[in-house]
Amino acid sequence: MIATMMDVPLSLNHLLDRAGKIFSNNLIVSRLPDKSLVRHSYGQYHRRTRALASALQQLGLKKGDRVATLCWNHHAHLEAYFGIPAAGGVMHTLNLRLAADEIGWIAADAKDRFLIVDDILLPLYRQFAGLHAFEKVIVFPFSGAPVPDGFVDYEALLAGADPDGLQYAAHDERDPTSMCYTSGTTGRPKGVVYSHRSTVLHSLVGCLGDVWDLKGTDCLMPVTPMFHANCWGMPYGAVMMGAKMVFPGPHLHADDLLDLMQLEPPTLSLGVPTIWMSLIQTFEAAQTGQPGRWKMPAGMRSMVGGSAVPESLIRAFAKHGIALQQGWGMTETSPLATVSYPRAELRDAGADEAFRRAAMAGTPVPLVDVRICGEDGREAAHDGKSPGEVQVRGPYITGSYHEVPVSPEKFTADGWLRTGDVATMDELAIMRITDRTKDLIKSGGEWISSVDLENALMAHPAVAEAAVVAIPDPKWSERPLACLVLKPGQTLDRDDLAAHLTRHGFAKWQLPERYEVIAAIPRTSTGKFWKLKLREMFPR
Stretch that binds a copy of itself, among 119-127, 227-235, 256-264, 337-345 (CB under 8 A): 337-345
Looking at the Cβ atoms of 228 and 244, the one nearer to a copy of itself is 244
Catalytic residue among 102, 264, 332, 454: 332
Integer Cα distance of 155 and 145 in angstroms: 12
- Give the 3-state secondary structure of residue 232: helix
Integer CA distances (angstroms), 278 to 98, 272, 281, 456, 487, in order: 22, 10, 5, 19, 12
User: HSE-up of 468 (CA within 13 Å, CB side)?
Assistant: 26
Please give the single-letter amino acid code of residue 287.
Q
197 in Cβ contact with 176 (< 8 Å)? no
Running DSSP on this structure, what letter comes out for residue 129?
G
Residue 228 in contact with a copy of itself, rule: CB under 8 A: no
Instruction: Give helix 234-241 / helix 196-207 axis angle, nearest 10°.
Output: 70
From 81, 82, 154, 194, residue interacting with a copy of itself (rule: CB under 8 A):
194
Using DSSP bridges, classify how beta strands 417-425 and 323-328 pair: parallel, antiparallel or unpaired.
unpaired
Running DSSP on this structure, what letter comes out for residue 346?
G
Residue 344 in contact with a copy of itself, rule: CB under 8 A: yes
Integer Cα distance of 455 and 501 in angstroms: 10
DSSP alpha helix (H) spans, 218-309? 229-232, 234-241, 254-263, 273-289
Catalytic residue among 447, 502, 516, 533: 447
- Give the 3-state secondary structure of residue 266: coil
Looking at the Cβ atoms of 98 and 207, the one nearer to a copy of itself is 207
Residue 10 in contact with a copy of itself, rule: CB under 8 A: yes
DSSP alpha helix (H) spans, 6-99? 12-22, 42-58, 75-86
Looking at the Cβ atoms of 175 and 439, the one nearer to a copy of itself is 175
- For residue 447, indicate whether it is catalytic: yes
- For residue 232, indicate whether it is catalytic: no
Stretch that binds a copy of itself, among 7-15, 245-253, 447-455, 475-483 (CB under 8 A): 7-15
Residue 216 in contact with a copy of itself, rule: CB under 8 A: yes
Stretch that binds a copy of itself, among 209-217, 289-297, 449-457, 468-476 (CB under 8 A): 209-217
Q: How far is the CB of 196 from a copy of itself (least distance, A)?
A: 8
Residue 90 in contact with a copy of itself, rule: CB under 8 A: yes
- For residue 442, indicate whether it is catalytic: yes
152-159 long-range contacts, Cβ below 8 Å, gap at least 24?
Answer: 152/59, 154/76, 154/116, 157/52, 157/55, 157/59, 158/48, 158/51, 158/52, 158/55, 159/51
Nearest to 301 by CA among 342, 337, 353, 241: 342
- For residue 182, indicate whether it is catalytic: yes
Residue 357 in contact with a copy of itself, rule: CB under 8 A: no
What is the CA 497 to chain-centroid distance, rounded?
32
From 12, 96, 193, 422, residue interacting with a copy of itself (rule: CB under 8 A):
193
Residues 129-188 that bind a copy of itself (CB under 8 A): 174-177
Residues 473-502 that bind a copy of itself (CB under 8 A): none
89 in Cβ contact with 66 (< 8 Å)? yes
- Report the chain's C-alpha Rg in angstroms: 23
From 366, 374, 444, 472, residue interacting with a copy of itself (rule: CB under 8 A):
366
Looking at the Cβ atoms of 165 and 209, the one nearer to a copy of itself is 209
Catalytic residue among 182, 224, 282, 526: 182
Mask: binding to a copy of itself, 264-293, rule CB under 8 A, as x and -? ------------------------------
Q: Is the peptide bond before 335 cis (omega within 30 degrees of 0)?
A: yes
Residue 351 in contact with a copy of itself, rule: CB under 8 A: no
- Give the 3-state secondary structure of residue 372: strand
Nearest to 374 by CA among 441, 447, 480: 447
Residue 378 in contact with a copy of itself, rule: CB under 8 A: no
What is the CA 310 to chain-centroid distance, rounded?
17
Mask: binding to a copy of itself, 416-435, rule CB under 8 A, as x and -? -x----------xx------
Q: How far is the CB of 398 from a copy of itself (least distance, A)?
A: 5
Residue 449 in contact with a copy of itself, rule: CB under 8 A: no
Q: How far is the CB of 66 from a copy of itself (least distance, A)?
A: 7
Instruction: Give helix 75-86 / helix 42-58 axis angle, nearest 10°.
Output: 50
Stretch that binds a copy of itself, among 192-200, 290-298, 315-323, 505-513 (CB under 8 A): 192-200
- Size of the residue set binding a copy of itself (CB under 8 A): 76
Looking at the Cβ atoms of 140 and 396, the one nearer to a copy of itself is 396
From 210, 255, 259, 513, residue interacting with a copy of itself (rule: CB under 8 A):
210
Integer Cα distance of 404 and 188 in angstroms: 11
From 35, 97, 215, 523, residue interacting with a copy of itself (rule: CB under 8 A):
215
Mask: binding to a copy of itself, 22-41, rule CB under 8 A, as x and -? xx-xx---------------
From 46, 132, 244, 410, residue interacting with a copy of itself (rule: CB under 8 A):
244
Integer Cα distance of 240 and 207 in angstroms: 9
From 3, 351, 413, 519, residue interacting with a copy of itself (rule: CB under 8 A):
3
CA torsion sign for 225, 296, 358, 514 is: positive
Catalytic residue among 403, 442, 446, 536: 442
Residue 398 in contact with a copy of itself, rule: CB under 8 A: yes
Residue 394 in contact with a copy of itself, rule: CB under 8 A: yes
Using DSSP bridges, classify how beta strands 66-70 and 114-118 pair: parallel, antiparallel or unpaired.
parallel
Residue 243 in contact with a copy of itself, rule: CB under 8 A: yes
Residues 40-79 that bind a copy of itself (CB under 8 A): 64, 66
Catalytic residues: 182, 332, 442, 447
